[in-house]
Amino acid sequence: MTVPDFVAYPAVRRGVRGLLGARPDAWSRRVPACPEWTVTDLLGHLTAIAGRVLARHGGSRVAPAGAAEVPELLDHWDDVGEELDRRLEDAGGRSGAVMVMDAYTHELDLCAALGVAPPEEHVARAPSFEVLVRGLSGSIAERGLPSLRLRTTAGEGWTAGDGRPAATVTAPAYDLFRSLAGRRSLAQLAALTWSAAPEPWLPAFGWGPFAPPARPGV
């Protein structure tokens, strides 16, 4: 079930705080899915995005001065996020979907970087899937490709593109999400379960901020 942004977003903040609050030894660790970033850099990105979205909704918060550490960044993110949650609710609860998807994707990045199993259930998963499927749909349409059916091994399904699907790709929900979010290489994408040859659709998995990495994703 898709929940509104002001429910999904604080759930991601709680998840990230749970991952990082008790792991000071991991704050300088590199994040394989974002190789230019450390764990601290990734958290700084999340707080910066929250500040930009809050500004678009008429609010403002002063960012920490200088090179902030993880505890300060977590507290700042919660301060910004709590105000942002209220403004998203006032706006109808659907204007922060891309931000939620970005934050949830990075929560999964942190799980992979820290060697922690991803959460089996998460309220941000469904709305984040919807954003990613819309992005893939646009990429498929721009390339003039027939639509593609996306299915999880649990039976969830979406159609990316217009018209009747010409093929189906099936994977566990976690792997399918990571594939849509640019965390799986072309070889990994091709190794998913396809009902037809995958090659026509593989280029479409590079869209917006996402591109399949050169090396296999974690």
Please tell me the predicted confidence (pLDDT) of residue 64. 84
Please tell me the predicted confidence (pLDDT) of residue 22. 85
Task: Report whether pLDDT(207) > 90.
Answer: yes
Q: Which two tokens stand for residue 32?
A: 């394989």
Give the pTM.
Answer: 0.96
How confident is residue 63, by pLDDT bands cut at 50, 70 and 90? confident
Task: Report whether pLDDT(65) > 80.
Answer: no
Please tell me the predicted confidence (pLDDT) of residue 106. 98
Q: How far is CA 141 from the centre of its chain?
A: 22
Q: Are 183 and 128 in contact (CB under 8 A)?
A: no
Please tell me the predicted confidence (pLDDT) of residue 62. 85
Question: Between β-strands 148-152 and 157-160, what pairing exists: parallel, antiparallel or unpaired?
Answer: antiparallel
- Percent pLDDT > 70 in the chain is 100
Between the alpha carbon of residue 154 and those of residues 5, 123, 138, 171, the distances in Å are 24, 17, 25, 9
- Residue written as tokens 């995958």? 198
Q: Are 153 and 173 in contact (CB under 8 A)?
A: yes
In whole angstroms, what is the distance from residue 159 CA to residue 147 CA? Answer: 7
Among candidate residues 166, 177, 171, the one with its CA nearest the CA of residue 136:
177
In whole angstroms, what is the distance from residue 112 CA to residue 30 CA? Answer: 11
Transcribe 81-117 into DSSP letters: HHHHHHHHHHTTS-TTHHHHHHHHHHHHHHHHHHT-P
Q: How far apart are the first and last CA of the chain?
A: 27
Lowest mean per-residue pLDDT among 53-67, 119-133, 172-186:
53-67
Task: Give the mean pLDDT of the chain.
Answer: 96
Task: Report whether pLDDT(218) > 90.
Answer: no
Question: What values do phi and psi take at 37, rounded to 5?
Answer: -110, 145
